[in-house]
Structure 1
Amino acid sequence: MKNRLAVLVLAVIAFVAGLPVTQAAASPAVRYTNPIAERRADPHIVKHTDGYYYFTATVPEYDRIVLRRATTIQGLSTAPETVIWRKHSSGEMGAHIWAPEIHFVNGKWYVYFAAGRADDIWRIRMYVLESSSANPLTGTWTERGRITTPWDTFSLDASTFVNNGVRYLIWAQQEPGISTNSNLYIARMGANPWTITGQTTRLTVPTLAWETRGYKVAEGPTVLQRNGKVFLTYSASATDANYCLGMLTAPASADLLNAASWTKSANPVFVSNAATSQYGPGHNSFTVSEDGQSDIMVYHDRNYRDISGDPLNDPNRRTRVQKVYYKADGTPDFGIPVPDGPTPARLKSYNATDRFVRHWDFRAKLEPNVTPLADSQFKPVTGLTGSGTVSLESTNFPGYYLRHRNFELWVERNDGSTQFRNDASFTQRPGLASSSAVSFESLNNSGYYIRHSNGLLYVQAVTDAAGRADATFVLE
């Protein structure tokens, strides 16, 4: 029992501090602190079988490819960075080194990237590097040359995945006869990881309003495979605050080379959010949490909207991460780009396991299938009364906190008063019904806990087993 409590105490400390926790059943929500890396765009993070996360991204100088590795996602923020390749001084691969991705295929490392010519910087094409070293940061890289596609046109953002034993390449390209900047395509990989074979299928053309703001763009495809489906997210519109994510969905059992197998979401699935000060989220990838239990979306954005000049010349896109949640039908719910700092969590009822704490007209309730997702996300911060307590800040209403008023729980704006600080501060304790969960005791009403009753949230005394269960929550 003493060991279990020790583990839980460490988990609670990590939860409040925003640190990732990898202990299995007793661990709270996967937590990180954003941004992961400043001035790193088009991020790609992969977790390898050696226990390391590998991270690469576009640097604002567009002149080199860099790699980092660490045993945790958060550790990538301070991990040393290694330059594994630099642009050529002339000819091909001499400019605009963009969007590298690192993949481990058939026992070797491969980096896919886009590059222009030194004498024609907008002649962007896709290229591949190869390394047979166990540690790609210290190994030798061989240029495997350009990926040949059906057209010798603007092409970029190659990515690869395996479905039902077949390896595919997906990418963005400008197709002759179609008046867009780029569309999305898929083909099977051939004899090696830099060659495609057979038919090339056009998956989507940017035609919707949110795909054509500034430019007609569909780019940065990447794949998330879950729940019997293949979810392909992509970036659309200009690379300023209009940049956003769209999604295509196909059954995992379908013929992925048949465009009819894919369904495009009518609306973007991830967009700028003024409340959280996150603009132009996009060019994402997916990885998994340290415990392997959660999908993590990796993406870039800026923390300001207005840009002077060409957005491509603005260096301040940052790498960020946040947990992917899933709707009842198994489709991903990316929510909103969360505020900088510790990532938020959801409070799931211990005894009504399909229900989460949410705000509705600022009253705190317990409901299933919360839409929008951010209504059920709260950022744990050091208590408004100081260390030793925790306050729960609304994700989509920064500056608003869970507080009790006449013993009812509301989400309200911090007015700076002593009363508010006391009402919005809680002592986080091991769950009253399970030490692998948590309970929140009111700071100014000792023995009173956040608990649900008839679908609403209150701060009430807990006197029996039913009350202890009502006052216990699982952090997700």
Structure 2
Amino acid sequence: MSTQAAKMNTNEPLIPQRADPHIFKHTDGYFYFTGSIPMYGGIELRRATTIEGLANAEPEIVWTKPETGQYSELIWAPEIHFNQRAWYVYFAAAPSREIKDDLFQHRMYAIKCSDDNPVDGEWEFCGQIDTGIDTFCLDATTFTHNDVLYYVWAQKGPGIKGNSNLYIAPMKTPVEIKGEPVMLTKPEFDWETIGFWVNEGPSVLKKNGKIFITYSGSATDENYAMGMIWADQKSDLLNPASWTKSQIPVFQTDPTVKMFGPDHNSFTKDENNNDVLVYHSRTYTEIEGDPLWNPDRHAYVKQVKWDVHGMPIFGKPGQP
């Protein structure tokens, strides 16, 4: 059995201890991987010609956080994208304690690389991506539709109960949004509000005339689950009325195979152009100490299936 067959659609991790995993398949024939690393100290990249090859690819730290300052703590959920002829990694970072007593004051930032191979290339810090709302924010992703580059992210909404909602905005450049943010969804169902009121970790999948955005809800323990909204590709994506929201999670904990809190996902395509769900999960619930510093959220992959109505079927974690 090949490594790909062994790790795709099973509860064997592709890469251990990598939360918030993101895989980007580029036109150069390579797959690029990043994710939150233990201790949250910087941004790691690796690349391979196959998804399974990422497991043994040499990781490279391409950016390390400064010792102090506005973006010197808790580097979370990096995503690598190729936008407008350059590489960008979008990530969240918090200020050091001498600036803010509360560490959870994340804002979103980006780094850029113009070289062909971003793993070996030179990266420059681009600064903060300002959404016009000065509150806790994180988990940015981007996608292009009808020649418009869009930015989707999670942010605490002023005057809205909860920790984070999902927003969308077009981009003027790959590091600057254009116009006012539009809120797409906020925590409202019971499954989104266990422990924390959260909509975060958006990821975009385009297929069958629709644009799907998955996201994570509730606290990052066994209650963490994946929700989904979708819109017709011909609709106005900046109109919240264009989007439909599932009232139930579409992917969640399965204790029968010891897969807990499977979420904060991304999407890619495998070598055969099949859609692939990339996600993290823990294999136990008895976390000692602060769950934030627990490194045992592992990166997994499984193939996405599709029903007769053109809707994605994610099934159960660790199972075909």
The TM-score by the shorter chain falls in which range?
A: over 0.9
Match of 1:198, SS?
A: coil
Identity of aligned residues (%): 50
Does the 8 A contact of 1:116 with 1:125 survive in 2?
Answer: yes
Aligned counterpart for 1:181 among listed residues 163, 175, 179? 163
Letter in 2 for 1:125: R
State how many pairs are aligned. 314
Structure 2: gaps (5+ residues): none
- Paired residues of 1:250 and 1:256 also in contact (CA < 8 A): yes
Residues 48-87 of structure 1 correspond to what in structure 2 (within 5 A)?
Answer: 48-87=26-65
Partner of 2:144: 162
AA aligned opposite 2:225: C
Determine helix, strand or coil for the equivalent of 2:120. coil
Deviation at 1:33, TM superposition (A): 7.8
Matched, 1:207 2:185: no
Within-5 A mapping of 1:422-461: none
Alignment-derived partner of residue 87 in structure 2: 109
Among candidates 232, 235, 239, match of residue 254 of structure 1? 235
1:142 aligns with 2:120: no
SS in 1 for 2:35: strand
In structure 1, runs of 5+ residues without a counterpart are 1-16, 22-29, 345-476
Give the direction of change, closer, same or farther, for the CA distance of 1:60–1:19 in structure 2 (3 Å limit): closer
Deviation at 1:19, TM superposition (A): 3.7
C-alpha contact 1:324 1:334 (8 A) present in aligned 2: yes
Per the alignment, residue 240 of structure 1 pairs with 221
Of residues 171, 176, 181, the one that matches 2:153 is 171
Give the direction of change, closer, same or farther, for the CA distance of 1:129–1:110 in structure 2 (3 Å limit). Answer: same
CA distance in 2, matches of 1:218, 1:80: 33
Aligned to 1:193: 174
- Is the CA contact (8 Å cut-off) linking 1:172 and 1:183 kept in structure 2? yes
Using a 3 Å threshold, how does the CA distance of structure 1 residues 243 and 33 change in structure 2: closer, same or farther? Answer: closer
Other-structure match for 1:385? none
Structure 1 Cα separation of the partners of residues 123 and 269 of structure 2: 26
Q: SS where residue 54 of structure 2 aligns?
A: helix
Change (3 A) 1:31 1:276: closer
Say if 2:293 is the partner of 1:317: no
Distance 1:61 1:92 in 2: 17
| Superposition deviation, residue 18 in structure 1 | 4.2
Specify which structure has the bigger relative contact order, considering alpha-carbon pairs within 8 angstroms and separated by 6 or more residues. Answer: 2
Give the number of the structure whose alpha-carbon radius of gyration is greater. 1
Task: Say whether 1:95 aligns with 2:73.
Answer: yes
TM-score, L = length of structure 1: 0.65
What is the match of residue 23 of structure 2? 45
Cα shift at 1:215: 0.2
Q: How does 1:212-227 map to 2 (within 5 A)?
A: 212-227=193-208
Query: Does the CA contact (< 8 Å) of 1:166 and 1:188 recur in 2?
Result: yes
Root-mean-square deviation over aligned CA pairs: 1.3
1:33, 1:305 → 2: CA distance? 16
Q: Distance in 1 between matches of 2:45 and 2:171?
A: 25
Contact 2:10–2:318 (8 Å) recurs in 1? no
Task: Find the counterpart in structure 1 of residue 244 from structure 2.
Answer: 263
Q: Which amino acid letter does the alignment assign opposite residue 136 of structure 1?
A: P
Equivalent residue of 1:199, what SS? coil
Query: TM-score if structure 2 supplies the norm length?
Result: 0.96
The aligned counterpart of 1:299 is 279
Q: Decide which of 112, 117, 126 is 1:130's aligned counterpart.
A: 112
The amino acid across from 1:216 in the alignment is: W
